[in-house]
Amino acid sequence: MNALPQKVTLVEVGPRDGLQNEKTPVSTEHKAALVAMLQAAGLTEIEVTSFVSPKWVPQMADNLAVMAAIERRADVRYSVLTPNLKGLEAALLALPHEVVVFAAASEAFSQKNINCSITESIERFAPVVQAAHAAGIKVRGALSCALGCPYQGEVSLDEVERVARLMRAIGVDHLGVADTIGVGTPRRVQQALERALRYFPLAEVSGHFHDTYGQALANIYASLEVGVHTFDASVAGLGGCPYAKGATGNVATEDVVFMLNGLGIDTGVDIDRLVDAGAFISGVLGRAPVSRVARALLAKRVA
Ligand SMILES: CC(C)(COP(=O)([O-])OP(=O)([O-])OC[C@H]1O[C@@H](n2cnc3c(N)ncnc32)[C@H](O)[C@@H]1OP(=O)([O-])[O-])[C@@H](O)C(=O)NCCC(=O)NCCSC(=O)C[C@@](C)(O)CC(=O)[O-]
């Protein structure tokens, strides 16, 4: 068996992926406070918001205000989602370190999520990548539905590979292989990652696993086995995609950190402060954290 990576980078997507689906508006101040707590916990990559149409995703309408309200730290990189040039132009005013374009390995999902075909989305992203690079900004690509689609069901590995290749061809720097609806299982995840690795180097491939079917930690372990060492995670297990009905949140950051701590893999994250951040935002939303690790650690505090 290959040795597992000794260090993992976690991209905290709670403020964006975690909150985008919340029906009750979360205030700009609460969003900025969440970012402050996440960076205090040691997270060094934070996806803060998205510059998408406010008609499509009203919760992210305060994108510029959130980016202005966060207290930036020199050791933290802040990223934002941009679906098109209009989004990129607005995002550039907010000075992110990285922008994220998002395509799908499923035609049906592409239409529902960004209202265009896969081919059209790639054509739309090409000038976004060019303009971001011209501004000195790295571009991450998210490849949704790489393990299954809420509309069409199965997604072939060949389609995952094709869209990965197209993303690379337009200059995307990093590819996040996303299990939007959490149906992936470990071997299949390894196969999807291997397709992405044909076009992107190991350091530029990450996993984004929703935990709908309880497979996310197993899928992260399987990814570590093939050397992948960057993962998206969402504090308190918040989230879901507004265009993937029934999909629950991204894997909880607390759960990932607990597992990696047990494996002796360094994340730089202080789990107690992370649990505080999860408890804070869950309190704002009026519910308990979904993370089982957070629930267990919070229960121990009151015991
Ligand atoms: C892509 C569009 C805009 C196409 O939407 P459209 O309606 O086809 O676009 P349009 O170009 O015809 O524009 C329609 C209106 O939106 C405006 N508009 C156009 N673009 C922007 C923009 N960037 N920012 C602000 N406003 C914008 C535009 O100005 C116009 O305004 P109007 O004239 O009607 O007043 C729309 O479909 C959209 O915003 N989709 C985003 C959906 C979304 O955010 N989904 C969730 C994020 S992806 C995700 O969560 C998955 C991921 C990444 O986590 C990985 C995984 O798990 O799979």
- Residue pLDDT, tens place only, 76-124: 999 999 999 999 999 999 999 999 999 999 999 999 999 999 999 999 9
The Cα–Cα gap between 177 and 195 comes to: 10
pLDDT-derived band at 2, boundaries 50, 70, 90: low
Question: Which residue, judged by its Cα, is nearest atom 7 of ligand 1?
Answer: 115
Amino acid identity of 136?
Answer: G
Give pLDDT tens digits for 166-177: 999 999 999 999
What integer pLDDT is reported at residue 246 of this predicted model?
72
The DSSP string of 99-127 is EEEEEES-HHHHHHHHSS-HHHHHHHHHH
CA 114 to ligand 1 center in whole angstroms: 6
Give the predicted TM-score (pTM) of the model. Answer: 0.97
- Taking the C-alpha atoms of residue 165 and residue 148, their distance in angstroms, rounded to an integer, is 19
Residue 276 has a pLDDT of 98
Q: Tell me which residue has its CA closest to atom 8 in ligand 1.
A: 115
Find the 55 Cα to ligand 1 centroid distance in Å.
Answer: 8
Q: What is the mean pLDDT of residues 8-34?
A: 96
d(CA 52, ligand 1 centre) in Å: 4
- C-alpha span between 89 and 84 (Å, rounded): 9
Residue 285 has pLDDT above 60, yes or no: yes
Domains of the chain: 9-302 (3.20.20.70)
Which residues make Cβ contacts (< 8 Å) with residue 65, sequence separation at least 6?
28
Ligand 1, atom nearest to 210 Cα: 57
What mean pLDDT is reported for the chain?
96
Ligand 1 pocket by C-beta < 6 Å: which residues?
17, 20, 50-53, 55-57, 81, 83-84, 86-87, 102, 113-115, 142, 144, 178, 180, 208, 241-243
Residue 1 binned pLDDT confidence (cut-offs 50, 70, 90): low
Quick check: is 241 catalytic? yes
pLDDT in tens, 113-158: 999 999 999 999 999 999 999 999 999 999 999 999 999 999 999 9
- Confidence (pLDDT) at 303: 78
Choose, from 116, 145, 149, 241, the residue flagged as catalytic: 241
pLDDT at 240: 67
Residue 114 makes CB contacts below 8 A (sequence gap 6+) with: 83, 102, 121
6 has pLDDT over 90: yes
The protein residue with its alpha carbon nearest to ligand 1, atom 40, reads 114
Give this complex's ipTM: 0.97
Please state the atom number of ligand 1 nearest to the C-alpha of residue 100: 53
CB-CB contact of 247 with 238 (8 Å): no
Stretch among 15-24, 199-208, 267-276 having the lowest mean pLDDT: 15-24
- Mean pLDDT over 61-66 rounds to 98
Residue 8, pLDDT > 70, answer: yes
High-pLDDT (> 90) share of the chain, %: 94
Task: Give the residue whose CA is nearest to atom 17 of ligand 1.
Answer: 53
Place of tokens 């799908």: 104
Residue in the block written with tokens 């149906």:
183
Which is the closest atom of ligand 1 to the Cα of 83? 1
Q: Which of 12, 52, 245 to mutate to test the pocket of ligand 1 (most atoms within 8 A of CB)?
A: 52
Mean pLDDT of 254-276: 98
